[in-house]
Structures are given as C-alpha cells and as structure tokens.
A and B are shown apart, each in its own frame.
Chain A
C-alpha cells in the first residue's frame, strides 16, 4: 500500500540552529500539505502545494520557515533559526488524482522536533 514517507522521524536541535524535514508524497498525488501538531492539539496547516506551486502559506512564519516542492514531487520544510516554541510534530500529507476523493488526505508518520 502506498504511503507518505517522511524523514527524519525524530530530530533534536538547539535553538538558533537550522533544521530541515523531507516528505515524499504518494505517487501521483498533486497536492501536498505540511502541518504542525503541538502536543494535545490538532494539526494546523502551515503550507499547501498544488504541484510545485504554493496554494496557501498564510500560516507559515515566513521569517524563519520556508518550504519548497521544486519538481512537484517531494518537498522540504526548513526552519532557520529554530526556536523553543517550534517543538512539535511536523506532518506531511498528500491528496490527489490517483484513487480516492481529492478530500482524502493521507498523512505520513511525522517528524517529532524537539528544540532545546
């Protein structure tokens, strides 16, 4: 069964350092999402891509966060510099044209970030 891949699964970094997360969506899925999930809360959308274009990045803290999906396939989310408040689970999800409804988002296992 096709899955969304994310790496690393866990990341510990010191504040002011740079971190990067990688996501490989389900093959053929045109839409890719990055979410942040703070412990005890639901996921909150950071950025949404349609192919290689950003559709929504209204909640992305652009002074320190950046995201790209250069070839419309895999994606990278970067934080520089990391702050203590960035400690959270970063989830990638994809949805699209290959099977299922476009509204069905398939989530990866997430990257648990701890900033010390």
Chain B
C-alpha cells in the first residue's frame, strides 16, 4: 500500500465548476500536507501547504485536512481552463521525506 493514494483521473469539468481533488494517506505521523500543480513538461509548483488538521484558503483554492480519517482535499472554485494540469498531493512528518501521490490529471473545458 502506498503511503499517499490519489485517484489518477482524468477528471474533466466545465469552466466555472467547483473541482474537488482528494487523497488519502496511511502514516498517522504525517503532519504537513501540500498540494502541487504540475503543467505538462514542467516541474511541480507548490500551491498550498497546511499543518495538521483544518482548512486553508488562498484565492480560489481551499485545502482541507481531516487527520481523523487521513483524508486530504483540494477545492478549486470558479475553475478556469488555465487550471488544467496534474495536481499532486504530498505529505510528510518531521522524521520523514516528502511522499507524493501519483497525481490527478484535471481538464477544464471552456
């Protein structure tokens, strides 16, 4: 079992829709949770990171962590075609390296 699991998609939604991307993790020691966006043929770029449980909002993006269920979510409001990319969740603890999910490929239809 991978430590961080992510549905690979692809996920296709119309422009303006709310997108929900999800991951689960197995290591209860994980404390830090991140979402990266990766455009085709580019390196990942950090979107958001959170510590422990709770929500964090940044513009159209909201990251949510539920440590009781080991569930990580990223919500994108008012989705735009420019949001089309692969989204990677990642987690780690102070004693571990970062573990990435396999990524969800998202496509926003104009």
Contact = CB atoms under 8 A, between A and B. Distances in A.
Q: Do A and B actually bind?
A: yes
B43 A101 contact: no
A41 B90 CA distance: 12
Contacts of A101: 49
Contact of A4 (B36, B43, B97, B98): B43
B44 A43 contact: yes
Interface residues of B, number: 21
Contacts of A103: 32, 34, 49
B43 A93 contact: yes
Which secondary structure characterizes the binding site on chain A? loop
A61 interface: no
Contacts, number: 47
B100 A112 contact: no
Interface of B: 4, 6, 8, 32, 34, 36, 41-46, 49, 88, 90, 97-98, 100-103
Given A48-B97, A108-B43, 17 more contacts: A40-B8, A41-B102, A41-B103, A42-B90, A42-B102, A42-B103, A43-B44, A56-B97, A101-B49, A105-B46, A106-B45, A107-B43, A107-B45, A109-B41, A110-B41, A110-B42, A110-B43
Top 10 closest pairs, chain A to chain B, by CB: A42-B100, A107-B43, A45-B97, A41-B102, A107-B44, A110-B43, A42-B102, A43-B100, A109-B43, A42-B88
